[in-house]
Amino acid sequence: MFQKTDFWIGFAVGVVAGVFGYRFLQEREAQLAALEPAPIAGELSMAELTRQKEELEDLIAAEQAKKAK
């Protein structure tokens, strides 16, 4: 069985198809995850809200520093 060329050709085709199928599936999941709507503010944890607040404060401070120059 393992000495037949048809077996190895079929095996190689199956492996290649599996790899491409897996990569396609991963890319598709990433695309779908990007399309999911952002969670509603009531569903965010306190840590996430605090992180977003600090990020916004940093952006505001950077813009104010640009205007002050």
Give the CA radius of gyration of the chain.
25
Burial 42-66 (b: 16+ CB within 10 A, else e): eeeeeeeeeeeeeeeeeeeeeeeee
Task: Check: pTM over 0.85? Answer yes or no.
Answer: no
> pLDDT (tens digit, 9 = 90+) per residue, 9-67?
999 999 999 999 999 999 999 888 888 776 665 677 888 889 999 999 999 999 999 88
In contact, 7 and 1? CB cutoff 8 Å: yes
Indicate the domain borders of the chain: 1-36, 40-69
pLDDT for 39: 62
